[in-house]
């Protein structure tokens, strides 16, 4: 184990279920669990998958060492028999999943886990934590990319999220199309481009734009972004242009009415001969305000709070549910619960997607379908086949959405997808959507 263990990133009830199911004999029966969301957030017509790579790492690091086992025993959380089982545990099942950067709809099984019941059930919390957070961020960022219409989205939300969540957010944002991140740990861990120049504190520390910009220029030269709104935007722009002989790369505005200020800044930069200088804005941006700013002369958006908090939807509402279980005779049977408002449809599912086949552009897909159901989502049909055979052996019409990521607990070739491939996949997946699915209204609906 080079990674720290993920084994205790787990809700206690999962180990209680393991313990009791090992006794009852049900524990070793094969089970199929799926991760999916019952519905998309209001106003969103699709979500974007991120976190798959992190989830596979977490499964690989899900091992109970001596420290974990001793703590569980000392606190009477597991019986001696369960402790022994956990001591030997490593995941030996199969995993299928949508690629990172793929689009998902309500009920899309973005991850399928097939393993003995107890082996699958104890992964619930850590897998959902990763999918719920990473998909929430990617789903927000892809909407920002939709709204930005080709202009850059810079990720800068670390300070508004838990310090490790921030690193995952940067990764998910990059998958979904952000160009870079302010977060250094994300840059190191995931080999992502990082950005950043200076903040208001630096200008205040130097007492004036002139002194601060001179210090910044001394280090970085003109190829940098000057933050011009600490005292007065027009004065800040004049100071930056004068210092760099008009050769500055860009300015950043972080306050005020951003559209108005961008128009004024553009006019002033042009008047001063700095036509090449870009304008970057920041300050409580989200998918809707980015859409509102579409007509302003803005070259890039530095997005913080709303990015790391899912732009109003801080969790993707993913659930991890058993859809099939081996019965006492060894046959795999669909299972489902009937709780009011939370009914699940049983049966292991294979999903194929066909472009150009849809005839609706609704903002939601049909409910979880029956056998061989085509759910139309805009110009995309998501064909769902319930089946008894392993997913990778099912043939269907269209692009198979589920990659075989782990076989008998080992990472499969398809799992070795890197972030650059995921970014490309995201671009392609967005391109399959209709214009109305990708349009972002200027105010939250």
- Binding to a second copy, residues 225-244 (CB under 8 A): 229-232
Residues 254, 228 contacting (CB under 8 angstroms): no
Residue 315 binding a second copy, by CB under 8 A: yes
Interface region with a second copy, contact rule CB under 8 A, candidates 156-164, 241-249, 400-408, 430-438: 156-164
Residue 337 binding a second copy, by CB under 8 A: yes
Interface region with a second copy, contact rule CB under 8 A, candidates 142-150, 164-172, 289-297, 382-390: 164-172
* Least distance between a second copy and beta carbon 11 (Å): 4
Note the maximum CA span of the chain. Answer: 82
For residue 284, list its beta bridge partners.
none
Site string for a second copy, 98-137 (x = CB under 8 A): -------------------x---x--xxx-xxx-xx----
Applying CB under 8 A, which of residues 43, 69, 73, 215 lies at the interface with a second copy?
215
Looking at the Cβ atoms of 10 and 407, the one nearer to a second copy is 10
Strands 318-326 and 399-400: unpaired
Residue 158 binding a second copy, by CB under 8 A: yes
Nearest to 403 by CA among 350, 344, 360, 357: 350
Count residues binding a second copy (CB under 8 A). 104
Strands 278-282 and 250-253: parallel
Residue 309: how many CA atoms within 13 Å on its side-chain side? 11
For residue 152, list its beta bridge partners.
300
173-192: which residues touch a second copy (CB under 8 A)?
Answer: 182-185, 187-188
Interface region with a second copy, contact rule CB under 8 A, candidates 101-109, 140-148, 320-328, 407-415: 320-328
Compute how many other C-beta atoms are within 10 angstroms of the C-beta atom of residue 218: 8
Residue 16 binding a second copy, by CB under 8 A: yes
Applying CB under 8 A, which of residues 14, 57, 299, 361 lies at the interface with a second copy?
14
**What is the spatial distance between Cα 333 and Cα 32, in angstroms, rounded to a whole number?**
10
Nearest to 31 by CA among 320, 319, 321, 326: 326
* Least distance between a second copy and beta carbon 376 (Å): 29
Site string for a second copy, 286-305 (x = CB under 8 A): -------------------x
Interface region with a second copy, contact rule CB under 8 A, candidates 41-49, 67-75, 86-94, 105-113: 67-75
Residues 137, 310 contacting (CB under 8 angstroms): yes
| Residue 171: C-alpha distances to residues 6, 137, 157, 166, 183 (Å) | 19, 9, 12, 9, 10
Residue 160 binding a second copy, by CB under 8 A: yes
Q: How far is C-alpha 367 from the chain's CA centre?
A: 23
């Amino acid at each position: 184990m080079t990674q720290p263990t993920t084994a205790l990133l787990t809700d206690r009830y999962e180990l209680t279920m393991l313990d009791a199911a090992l006794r009852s004999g049900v524990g070793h029966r094969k089970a199929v669990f799926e991760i999916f969301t019952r519905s998309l957030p209001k106003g969103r017509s699709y979500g974007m998958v991120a976190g798959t790579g992190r989830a596979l790492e977490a499964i690989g690091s899900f091992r109970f060492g001596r420290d974990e086992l001793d703590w569980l025993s000392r606190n009477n959380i597991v019986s001696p028999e369960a402790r022994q089982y956990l001591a030997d545990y490593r995941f030996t099942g199969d995993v299928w999943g949508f690629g990172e950067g793929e689009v998902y709809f309500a009920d899309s099984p973005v991850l399928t886990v097939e393993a003995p019941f107890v082996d699958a059930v104890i992964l619930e919390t850590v897998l959902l934590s990763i999918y719920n957070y990473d998909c929430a961020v990617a789903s927000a960022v892809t909407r920002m990319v939709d709204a930005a219409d080709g202009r850059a989205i810079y990720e800068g939300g670390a300070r508004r999220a838990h310090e490790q969540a921030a690193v995952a957010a940067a990764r998910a944002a990059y998958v979904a199309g952000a160009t870079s991140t302010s977060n250094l740990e994300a840059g190191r861990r995931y080999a992502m481009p990082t950005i950043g120049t200076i903040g208001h504190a630096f200008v205040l520390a130097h007492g004036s734009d002139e002194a601060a910009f001179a210090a910044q220029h001394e280090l970085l030269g003109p190829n940098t972004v000057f933050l011009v709104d600490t005292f007065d935007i027009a004065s800040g722009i004049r100071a930056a242009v004068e210092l760099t002989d008009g050769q500055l790369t860009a300015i950043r505005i972080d306050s005020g009415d951003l559209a108005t200020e961008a128009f004024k800044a553009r006019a002033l930069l042009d008047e001063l001969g700095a036509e090449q200088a870009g304008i970057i804005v920041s300050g409580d941006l989200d998918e809707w305000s980015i859409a509102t700013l579409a007509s302003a002369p803005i070259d890039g958006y530095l997005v913080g709070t709303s990015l790391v908090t899912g732009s109003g939807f801080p969790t993707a509402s993913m659930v991890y549910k058993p859809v099939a279980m081996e019965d006492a005779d060894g046959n795999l049977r669909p299972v489902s619960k009937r709780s009011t408002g939370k009914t699940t449809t049983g049966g292991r599912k294979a999903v194929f997607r066909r472009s150009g086949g849809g005839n609706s552009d609704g903002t939601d897909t049909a409910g979880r379908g029956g056998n061989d159901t085509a759910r139309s989502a805009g110009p995309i049909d998501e064909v769902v086949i319930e089946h008894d055979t392993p997913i990778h052996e099912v043939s269907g019409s269209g692009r198979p959405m589920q990659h075989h990521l782990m076989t008998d607990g080992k990472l499969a070739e398809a799992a070795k997808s890197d972030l650059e491939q995921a970014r490309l996949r995201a671009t392609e997946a967005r391109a399959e959507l209709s214009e109305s699915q990708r349009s972002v209204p200027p105010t939250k609906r």
